[in-house]
Amino acid sequence: MNVLAHGIGSQHDLPLSPFYAFAGAFAALFVSFLALGLLWSASRFRGDRAGRPIPVALQRLADARPTRMVARVLGLAAALFVLLHLLLGPNGPEHNPAAGSVYVLLWVGLVPASLLLGPVWRLLNPLRTLHLLVCRALGRDPAAGRPLAVHLGLWPAAAGLLAFTWLELVAPDPASSTALLLFFVLHGVVHLAGAARHGACWFDQADAFEVYSGLLARLSPLGRRPADRRLVLRSPFNGLDAVPQTPGLVATVCVMLGSTAYDGFSDAPSWITTVQTSPLGRTTAATLGLFAAVAVAVVATLYALCAGATRLISGQLSHPLTAFAHSLVPIALGYLVAHYFTLFVTEGPHTVMVALATDKPAPPEPPLAPGGIATLQAAAIVIGHVLGVVAAHDRSVRLFPPARAVAGQLPLLALMIAYTIGGLTLLLA
């Protein structure tokens, strides 16, 4: 189960020259930064106002009640399938598809699904559907409830993401039915109680999987304009520009970045030796590594230092932490692709074969040779950072006076370089 719990497994023998990987990454970042500074002097992204409406027939099909009912039924059926296998199935991913369904089809599968179709988990979420059914049975409006405190923001989602990644990367036996059952029972109780108190809007801000899917969907070419609820085709940059500057946004994205970075670092032989020989015990040492020194705290601290430097240079930016947090989303996406591509294309079909009761199914071979996989992973990290530079530049020229627009981005460029070094080092070291 190590493959399911820790991404793609060993990466330290990938046939890619570190020199060329780092040189290419630095060249891409510097060329992008210089080109943007010279050629991009005014903001071009329009956020939720942008987009070309899709044909009316497709809009009606997407918004039709039967379409939404089918999606909700599929979400409930999938949740029931996993629950029954956790309760009644054998213990072990070789014969039980529950762990693969959670760690591969759900956690990793939400990435391509959200990029292609938008925030799909909002419709599939079985907890949202259960809340809707209970409200209808009681004759209550699902949206009714006490307003959420403004300062709460996305902090519950950040905590939920951290809890799930702890289960995936640190827990002693993340594939066991007991561990998964305990997590999802607690997850369900917390969110159904929150929805009962605050209404369906609770899921928008507090459900870790909905927020995760929604942030990735900001890079989807398919979006919805809030003004008229029309589905539109748009530049992913416009979707990214529309990310709300909500409390807890930075924490959520830093958990996405930091946990993926820890996934790569936890495979290093030196770290494996450290946690296995630690007097604190393996689980405690790994938990500290995830929560603090290795991953999440490092990512968040670097970003906070960058935001502080940006505020000093600009002289007028009141909320630098949230102003540029959207530029971290494509970086997180690049890390996710780099670490989980092979897992998804091999263990995903394997999980489906186990679910179909195929006798001793073998995981399919990766679609790319090791050199191709290494190139794809490095390219995903570099492209994610370049997209982050573009998003940050457009926001910078909108917020800063022209004389400070380029200088105000220097801390962000330094941050992107630091993240790139870290990401490629974890990939190639």
Q: What pLDDT is stored for residue 1 in this prediction?
A: 41
Sequence-ordered strand ranges (E) for 124-240: 222-224, 231-233
DSSP alpha helices (H): ranges in 266-369? 269-277, 282-291, 296-314, 320-323, 329-355
pLDDT at 9 over 60: no
Q: What pLDDT is stored for residue 4 in this prediction?
A: 53
Q: For 173-229, write each residue's pLDDT tens digit.
A: 898 999 999 999 999 999 999 999 999 999 999 999 999 999 999 999 999 998 888
Alpha-carbon distance of 415 to 245, in angstroms, equals 20
Angle at 13 (CA atoms; ends 7, 16), nearest 5 degrees: 100
pLDDT at 10 over 50: no
Q: For 306-320, write each residue's pLDDT tens digit.
A: 877 877 776 666 666
Q: Token pair of 188, please?
A: 């369900």
Q: For 221-266, write each residue's pLDDT tens digit.
A: 999 998 888 999 999 999 999 999 899 998 899 899 888 888 877 8
pLDDT band at 69 (very low <50, low <70, confident <90, very high): very high
Determine if residue 362 is left, alpha or beta; phi over 0 gives left, psi from -120 to 50 gives alpha, anything else beta: beta
DSSP 101: I
Percent of the chain with pLDDT over 90: 41
Q: In what order do the strands lie in the sheet with 52-53?
A: 52-53, 231-233, 222-224
Look at 1-10, 75-84, 183-192 and tell me which has the smallest mean pLDDT. Answer: 1-10
Q: How far out from the chain centre does Cα 300 lie? A: 15
Paired strand residues for 109: none
DSSP 148: P
pTM, to two decimals: 0.89
Alpha-carbon distance of 278 to 284, in angstroms, equals 9
Residue 224 has phi, psi (to 5 degrees) of -130, 130
